[in-house]
A = this chain, B = another copy of it.
């Protein structure tokens, strides 16, 4: 058996891209609006920690999402960081035009597989969204990379079950429409590990190397499990949010993104390289805490610390509560 690092048959590629999406998906899910200067501080601190992919804004009407009203200013700042790949979300032609004008490198267009969710989210059927996406791709050609962000891929709270064949069909249409990248999103936090493997293989069969990225929420505690399955099936790009911003994983219906620190910890423990300094990434939580006082910050690693076998030197004297509580236990 091959080890879990390379997966069963995946490419032995040890480099993984972690895209920080907290500035977009995290911030849009909380009620408060983060000040533009705080967003810039967050971007700078994440960049200093080694994060080289960030989704920093969404081009939607400020009336709908006031948290994203400063998209252009935030992107302009992010573009000053050398080597930072800057992504924005845009759900329609007008948004894509704004995104192109802003100079972002990558534009994510959400395309729901679930018709019910698509109508609720963008007032278009998936088929109509594909037609619009084709126009967006033509508009962006040579100016920005277009990502078809397939959403409700693993289930929909409106429609219920989402057939895997529908996912594959939409992925094929997105590629035909001009997608540079296909990303699969667990919008509603319903993905399960076996399903992830099945859907990744079905979509790869139609999208080949354009299937690049997975976006999980941790609603049911399987965010990292699903990530592991994605890794084993050859995926090397994952979205995550610092401190799991944007949703309490312990509340009903919560939709927090996979926690970035916990994800990077898991990846490093498996000898994957992310280019991210984990201690520095954890320190970025202080920027969030200062910018959003009282907002809950989630995450296991930030509280428990690295295990001894991942610390530079064995902590012989570092007896802590865990050691004490473990007494007379198996």
A-to-B contact residues, CB < 8 Å: 1-5, 7-10, 25, 28-29, 58, 60, 64-65, 89, 91, 108, 110, 116-117, 120-122, 149-152, 154-162, 183, 185, 187-198, 201, 215, 218-222, 224-225, 228-229, 232-233, 239, 247, 249-255, 259, 262, 265-266, 269-271, 298-301, 303-305, 307-311, 313-316, 318-323, 325-330
Q: Are B221 and A259 in contact (CB under 8 A)?
A: yes
Q: Are A155 and B308 in contact (CB under 8 A)?
A: yes
Q: Are A252 and B161 in contact (CB under 8 A)?
A: no
- A307 closest partner in B (C-beta): B190
Q: Which of B157, B183, B233, B266 contacts A318 (CB 8 A)?
A: B157
- A303 closest partner in B (C-beta): B252
Q: Which of B29, B197, B326 contacts A121 (CB 8 A)?
A: B326
Q: Are B323 and A158 in contact (CB under 8 A)?
A: yes
Query: In whole angstroms, how far apart are the Cα atoms of A58 and B158 in the complex?
Result: 48
Q: A159-B316, A193-B270 are in contact. List 7 more A-B contacts (CB 8 A).
A: A117-B326, A149-B330, A151-B330, A221-B224, A222-B269, A228-B229, A254-B303
Q: Are B304 and A161 in contact (CB under 8 A)?
A: no
Q: Are B188 and A322 in contact (CB under 8 A)?
A: yes
Q: Which of B89, B197, B250, B311 contacts A4 (CB 8 A)?
A: B197
Q: Which residues of B contact A220 (CB under 8 A)?
A: 262, 265, 300-301, 304, 307
Q: Which residues of B contact A189 (CB under 8 A)?
A: 304, 307, 322
Say whether, besides A250-B303, A252-B303, A259-B221, A228 and B193 are in contact (CB < 8 Å): yes
- A196 closest partner in B (C-beta): B4
Q: Are A89 and B328 in contact (CB under 8 A)?
A: yes
Q: Which of B161, B193, B197 contacts A308 (CB 8 A)?
A: B161
Chain B: minimal CB distance from A35 (Å) = 22
Query: In whole angstroms, how far apart are the Cα atoms of A28 and B195 in the complex?
Result: 37
The contact sample of 18 A-B pairs, CB cut-off 8 A, is A1-B201, A25-B329, A89-B328, A89-B330, A120-B327, A155-B309, A157-B322, A161-B314, A192-B270, A194-B271, A215-B330, A220-B262, A221-B224, A222-B300, A239-B330, A251-B303, A252-B305, A255-B326
